[in-house]
A and B are shown apart, each in its own frame.
Chain A
Amino acid sequence: MLAFRSFFQLLFHGTLPEAVLTELNLAPRAAGRPAAPATPAPPPVRTADGALQMLAILQRDARLVDFIMEDIAPYSDDQVGAAVRTLHDQCRESLTRYLTLQPVIDGVEGTPTRAPSADPSVVKFIGNVPAGAPSGGTLRHKGWRAVKVDLPAVNPRQDSTVVAPAEIEIE
């Protein structure tokens, strides 16, 4: 399920794709350097390209789109489970190949933890949050951060809206 969660986070929340695409559009291997202090205006990013590319990869390697778009209601848990095991292995394999994911806070869920940042995109406070920014609390979700993105360059001559090509077999 890790794969799904990260994927949707990537697809629907702003945080991950932005990180992904900044890295993609910037000169390669800018990693390790602290966030550039005085970047005037970030270059315009075409969010769709990166998202579609990732989606196409997960479809190609793990057939994720087929799975999500299929009506699975008529099938038994057993049947769904059998398909998902294979799919999960492959999703995870491709996700970890192209993205290096690490917890935002490398702690134990359920234990008292200090917040490393007051940035709401990094740490989200939940529950009885006081008026001022709290310094910490009980860690409920470690979060995920893509510390490295290693996606292949997009072929400009390829129709990026095709997530999966149609297949025609010659018998």
Chain B
Amino acid sequence: MEPKYVIGIDLGTTNSALAYAEIRPDAGPLDTPEVRLLAISQVVNPGEVRDEDLLPSFLYLPGQADFPPGSLALPWDPQPGFVVGRLAQKRGVENAGRLVSSAKSWLSHAGVDRTASILPFHAPDGVPKLSPVEASRRYLEHFQRAWDAKMADAPFFLQQVLVTVPASFDAVARELTERAAEEAGYKGVTLIEEPQAAFYAWIDRHPDWRERVQVGDLILVVDIGGGTTDFTLIAVTERGGELALDRVAVGEHILLGGDNIDLALARLVADRLSERGTRIDTFQLQALWSNCRIAKEKLLDPAAASKEVPVTILGKGTGLVGGTIKASLQLADVERVLLDGFFPAVPNTEMPQRARRVGLQEMGLPYAADAAVTRHLARFLRQQAASVEHGAVRRGPSGLACPTHVLFNGGVLNAPMVRERLLEVLDSWLGEEGFPAVQPLTGEDLMHAVSRGAAYYGNARRGRGVRIRGGVPRTYYVGIESAMPSVPGFAAPLKALTVVPFGMEEGTEQRIPNREFGLVVGEPAEFRFFASAVRKNDQPGDLIEDVGDELDELPPMGVELPAAGDGAGVVAVSFETVVTETGMLQLWCVARDGRRWKLEFNVRERVAA
């Protein structure tokens, strides 16, 4: 049975959404289908199920005493053992030890075993725990059930499903996302990068986009969500007389977003209160945090003229008025925190501080050490200078990548003040490089753009509309220890063999020449695995002598060749790389006689080591 809809799921750090569009094979190429959002049924209060556009990405593991019996019932499950969505978020404020939050950030955190039951990270003894993969699985399951409850004539598993991931997700995080989808019962899910999806959403809203950009243009997508900041460069090129789009660069994974800004504001208010002698506890800080978010949005709303918004923390207990703590957030505060703290005007040579400071919200996650988004952006555009030419990237004399257009996405960039500051900074950088000002592409509905864009892309894959050519956004390497006499106390020097070139396209495969390895049958073999978003010119088979700062180590990949009956002890194999149609990266060992074994990421052992 053919799918009736394309479904795009934006699996976000703090909020998720589902958009869908009808597949109409008979429609003309310019006749783009309408993209709609599915209202997601979720428990919002005990005993109350409501449809909301967003599903907060929170999971709560209730204990015996948390909710009255039967009050968590969903239309598809009379007695779920856990809560997903709005109620989980609310109840989690009162009892953080049972709340799983930011599962997506954990999914991309190489410092922990992401398949182990580690969340909630600070859960007290006796509370069941989940792995980041399993938490993601439950969000995806919720979407599936919510869909099936509403769209009975088009079962979810028959539809074409796309799930968005940050462009900065590496191969492991992507594979774990795919695994979560598979375990949720999804059939043949496709992953799409969020900044690309945001750009598709822009194209979807501008059918005349071909008149708005031209060959040689370079589009910078800045996506700042609740928890992450993601950069992407898309080049406008020409293929067969038609405008084409190439995704030429993606940024590193930066755990920095709107939640950090709101927390910074809450801290500011809390400091001011403590100067007056009023101390607030962690529970009140939580309330202050969300009040500051609301106050910030009010102050940043261009329609509102207020320069000051009261922020109150109501008294605990039944004494409401008596215990009320009064404070206010001023426009000047928000301006200072945003413009000096998160978006300072910096020269394009200023790089983010590398030093790790104490984590912000959860100790376990590797939050960005430097809160200045503009410095991260400078580094991103500089990195393109350091790499060798790939695709049509416009550069200034200093080598800085110089975008012609910028597209903003994500809740933080709803604020005109932030957009203006980013434009101002970009323009000053471009001016120094001798280029005119950057042109903003106006997207609307930044909250839902990504899921809408994913649904558009689903149609583009079927030939309805333009498709961005991207391929693998990194170069991948397998580590090879040099054949040298070992010296006590020193690890053998490591070289890196290029196995996946940057931009390797979906649906292609590549044999790595010149290298064979002897694998002992019946014994696990392991390869160290590296990635680089910066080195873009290494070709399959190239050997990097010095594994320096440009390569990030990923979990190792392992394979075990089954012992064959004929007793052959060692099999000579070479590598073969496959990028599937859905964008998943696979590494295979191929013997001379054509037998193949797939290498699997070994997420566990890295942590044990």
Report which A residues bind B (CB closer than 8 A). Answer: 60, 63, 66-67, 69-70, 72, 74-75, 78-80, 82-83, 85-87, 152-155, 157-158, 169
A66 — nearest CB in chain B belongs to which residue? B320
* Known contacts A83-B314, A157-B69: A75-B321 contact under CB 8 Å: yes
Whether the pair B324, A157 counts as a contact (CB closer than 8 A) is: no
Indicate if the CB atoms of A63 and B320 lie closer than 8 Å.
yes
Contact B71 A83 (CB under 8 A): no
B47 touches A152 (CB 8 A): yes
Question: What's the least CB distance linking B107 to chain A, in Å?
Answer: 31
Pair B326/A157 contact, Cβ less than 8 Å: no
Q: Quick one: given A72-B321, A79-B326, are A63 and B68 in contact (CB under 8 Å)? A: no
A155 interface neighbour in B47, B283, B318, B322, Cβ under 8 Å:
B47
Closest chain-A Cβ to B395's Cβ sits at a distance in Å of 51
Given A83-B324, A158-B68, A70 and B312 touching (CB < 8 A)?
Answer: no
B residues in contact with A86, CB < 8 Å: 312, 314
Q: Measured between alpha carbons, how far is A85 from B326 in the docked complex, in Å?
A: 11
- Are A70 and B321 interface neighbours, CB within 8 A? yes
Given contacts A82-B312, A83-B312, contact A70 B320 (CB under 8 A): yes
Whether B321 and A83, one on each chain, are in contact in the complex, defined by CB atoms closer than 8 angstroms, is: yes
- Pick the residue among B71, B314, B324 that contacts A158 (CB under 8 A): B71
B321 cross-chain contacts in A, Cβ below 8 A: 67, 70, 72, 75, 79-80, 83
CB-defined contacts of B47 to chain A, threshold 8 Å: 152-155, 158
Given A75-B322, A79-B321, A85 contacting B312 (CB threshold 8 A): yes
Residues in B neighbouring A155, C-beta threshold 8 A: 46-47, 68, 70-71
Q: How far is the CB of A169 from chain B (nearest CB, A)?
A: 8
- Chain B residues with CB under 8 Å of A87's CB are 314, 320
Report the Cα distance A83→B311, complex, angstroms: 10
Q: Which residues of B contact A79 (CB under 8 A)?
A: 321-322, 324, 326
Do the beta carbons of A83 and B48 come within 8 Å of each other?
no
Instruction: Produce 1/0 per residue, B13-36, CB < 8 A to A.
Output: 000000000000000000000000
- Please state if B68 and A157 are interface contacts (CB–CB under 8 Å): yes
A63's contact among B45, B48, B310, B314, by CB below 8 Å, is which?
A: B314
Check if B590 is an interface residue, CB within 8 A of chain A.
no
Q: Does B345 contact A (CB under 8 A)?
A: no
User: Are B49 and A83 interface neighbours, CB within 8 A?
Assistant: no
Chain B 311-333 near chain A by CB (<8 Å), digits 1 or 0: 01011001111101010000000
Structural contact, B310 and A70, CB atoms closer than 8 A: no
Minimal beta-carbon separation of B427 from chain A (angstroms): 39
By a CB distance below 8 angstroms, the chain B residues around A153 are 47
In the complex, per-residue mask of B58-73: 1 if CB is within 8 Å of any chain A CB, else 0: 0000000000111100
Closest A residue to B322 using CB positions:
A75
Nearest-neighbour CB distance to chain B for A81, whole angstroms, equals 9
Task: Select one of A67, A74, A154 contacting B320, CB under 8 A.
Answer: A67
User: In the complex, A72→B323 CA distance in Å?
Assistant: 11
Q: How long is the Cα–Cα vector from A149 to B191 in the complex, in angstroms?
A: 41
| Shortest distance from the beta carbon of A84 to any chain B beta carbon, whole Å | 8
Please give, as numbers and ranges, the residues of chain A lying within 8 Å of B283 by CB-CB distance. 169
B269-283 toward A: CB 8 Å interface, digit per residue (1/0)? 000000000000001
Q: Given that A83-B314, A157-B70 are contacting pairs, would A60 and B45 also be in contact in the complex, using a CB cutoff of 8 Å?
A: yes
Set of chain A residues within 8 Å of B70, measured between Cβ atoms? 155, 157
**What are 18 of the A-B contact pairs (CB < 8 Å)?**
A60-B45, A63-B320, A66-B319, A66-B320, A67-B320, A74-B322, A79-B326, A80-B321, A82-B310, A83-B315, A83-B321, A83-B324, A86-B312, A152-B45, A152-B48, A154-B47, A155-B68, A155-B71
